[in-house]
Amino acid sequence: MGHVAIRADHLSKRYQLGVGAVQHNTLRDHLMHGLRILTRKKTKVNSDTLFWALKDVSFEVKPGEVLGIIGHNGAGKSILLKILSRITQPTTGTADIYGRVSSLLEVGTGFHSELTGRENIFLNAAMLGMRRQEVRRKFDEIVAFSGVEDFIDTPVKRYSSGMYVRLAFAVAAHLEPEILIVDEVLAVGDASFQQKCLGKMEEVGRSGRTVLIVSHNMTVIEGLCERAILLEKGRVAKVGKTREVVDGYADAIRIQSGTAIEARRDRVGVGDILLTRIEVLDSNRHPVSAAITGRDVIIRMHYRCAEAKEFLNCRASISVNGHKGQDLFVLSTDIVDPTPLTLRGEGYVDFILPELPLTGGAYFFQSYIESNGHAQDWIRNVAPFTVLDADFYGTGNLCPPGWEGYGVLLHYRWESSERLPGVTVGSRT
């Protein structure tokens, strides 16, 4: 393998907007498509329809290194991993991989839906060039990790999405590839499975294998990775020590959140219902520029629906993210009140939050609106949210320096063997 496990040299990937992929299922389809290309008149490609998902990306990864790749939605992270996994060809540039690669880019990548879980384990291993005795040695460990023992001989097309991803991750992580490429796997599954994934990723990193991981969870990136790359609009914006790159990502979040909502081009969804504005109000419903720790606050989401349409079974939610983009908590209409929400015309949804439990500092909102299970408008880091520190516990003490913009405050109590039973601190009635 030498001194390099992965070398990307001026990688670029271009797409032509509005041109769908053509699927050819038979030899005749391939021949007819080729004939059409030969006989078709050449037309000038409009440069306005060309989109560069990646542009001139270069970097190297050493054997045994754990490298994080971060960036906003649409920055080119997943496209880069697909090129490195040989799923997609670059438009220009080269990617050299030195070692056996296992990729987990989407749920069940490489699985055959008609085959059982057992058969898919052996199939994936064969694709990696592994011998059957190697798989048999790891088989029980893979199945135990995935938790699908009772369904291992069931076709995976009958698996739930959770079972699918658990088995897919177990296979990718346990078959001992020299290079492991993972895209947002820690964002799926329940909390206990995510903890198992995190532990396994740490184990893989300590074993000396090369790992590339994409995640929006900066805690994961900082905990696992020695170096990181920040992608912005398909280009390398920063590369270096993880903490420095994550700080650069935080700066990019601040810039992005300052963009007017109507001008955001990274929003995801059908678009028949759009977020138009976010307001922060005090308990008297007066707009304020900053909320105060421990005071009641109202977060108001203004929306606009497509003209003359009514939308049933809607859900509106807003999450508060820390300064590095990490989710702190989410407020959603369906969690506290299962009554179906109907939206029409223009209006707003108020989230009334008593005793704001955040330390002072800079935060960001992430907004989401859906109807009948379909995402209508989803925007990350949609707007900044400033909190001014105050005496949350009523003790006359503020949080110590360094806590700014970092966390959620809780009412709690503590006891000591040196104090009388029943004496509580940090609890208000």
C-alpha span between 399 and 362 (Å, rounded): 15
For the chain, give the percent of residues with pLDDT over 70.
Answer: 85
Say which residue the tokens 């308990």 belong to: 283
Distance CA 334, CA 313 (A): 10
Indicate if the pLDDT at residue 428 is higher than 50.
no
Q: What is the distance between the alpha carbons of residues 181 and 81, in angstroms, rounded to a whole number?
A: 7
Tell me what percent of the residues of the chain surpass a pLDDT of 90. Answer: 41
Q: Which CATH architecture has domain 6-14+56-255?
A: 3-Layer(aba) Sandwich (3.40)
Name, of 15-19, 137-141, 186-190, the range with top average pLDDT: 137-141
Max avg pLDDT among 9-18, 133-142, 171-180: 133-142
Neighbours of 274 (CB within 10 A): 19
Average pLDDT of the residues in 198-226 = 83
Highest mean pLDDT among 31-35, 120-124, 193-197, 353-357: 353-357
Q: How far apart are CA 172 and CA 143, in angstroms?
A: 12
* Mean pLDDT, residues 192-204 taken together: 78
Chain position carrying tokens 């060309």? 50
B/e letters for 282-298, b = 16+ CB within 10 Å, e = fewer, are eeeeeebeebbbbbebb
Residues ≥6 apart with Cβ < 8 Å to 334: 315, 341
What are 30-89's pLDDT values in tens digits?
Answer: 566 666 655 555 545 455 567 899 999 999 999 999 999 998 877 899 899 999 988 889
> What would the 3-class secondary structure string for the chain be?
CCCCCEEEEEEEEEEECCCCCCCCCCHHHHHHHHHHHHHCCCCCCCHHHEEEEEEEEEEEECCCCEEEEECCCCCCHHHHHHHHCCCCCCCEEEEEECCCEEEECCCCCCCCCCCEHHHHHHHHHHHCCCCHHHHHHHHHHHHHHHCCHHHCCCEHHHCCHHHHHHHHHHHHHHCCCCEEEEECHHHCCCHHHHHHHHHHHHHHHHCCCEEEEECCCHHHHHHHCCEEEEEECCEEEEEEEHHHHHHHHHHHHHHHHCCCHHHCCCCECCCCEEEEEEEEECCCCCECCCEECCCCEEEEEEEEECCCCEEEEEEEEEEEECCCCCEEEEEEHHHHCCCCEEEECEEEEEEEECCCCECCEEEEEEEEEEECCEEEEEEEEEEEEEEECCCCCCCCCCCCCCCCCCCECCCCCCCCCCCCCCCCCCCCC
Inter-CA distances, 252 with 227, 246, 362, 417, Å? 18, 10, 14, 48
Q: Is the pLDDT of residue 19 over 60?
A: no
- What distance in Å separates the CA atoms of residue 280 and residue 221, rounded to the nearest whole number? 31
Q: Does the structure show a pLDDT above 90 at 396?
A: no
What pairing do the DSSP bridges indicate for beta strands 210-214 and 179-183?
parallel
Instruction: Give the list of residues 6+ apart from residue 283 with CB closer than 8 angstroms, or none.
Output: 295, 296, 297, 298
CATH of domain 264-388: 2.70.50.60
* The two three-digit tokens of residue 328, written as one number: 């702190």
How far apart are the C-alpha atoms of 428 and 414, rounded to whole Å?
A: 13
Alpha carbons within 13 angstroms on the beta-carbon side of residue 23 total: 1
pLDDT exceeds cutoff 50 at 425? no
Kindly report, as residue ranges, where domains of CATH 3.40.50.300 are found in the chain.
6-14+56-255
> CA 310 to CA 330: how far, in whole Å?
26
Q: How many residues does the chain have?
A: 429
User: Are 7 and 95 within 8 A, CB to CB?
Assistant: yes
Whose tokens are 């509106």? That residue is: 316
Asked whether 377 and 271 are in contact (CB, 8 A), the reply is: yes
Integer angstrom CA distances of residue 28 from 23, 25, 84, 146: 12, 8, 31, 42
Structure confidence by residue, pLDDT tens digits, 342-383: 999 999 999 999 999 998 888 989 999 999 999 999 998 899
- List, by residue range, all CATH 2.70.50.60 domains of the chain: 264-388
Confidence band of 29 (pLDDT split at 50, 70, 90): low
- Is residue 16 over pLDDT 80? no
Question: What pLDDT is stored for residue 308 in this prediction?
Answer: 87
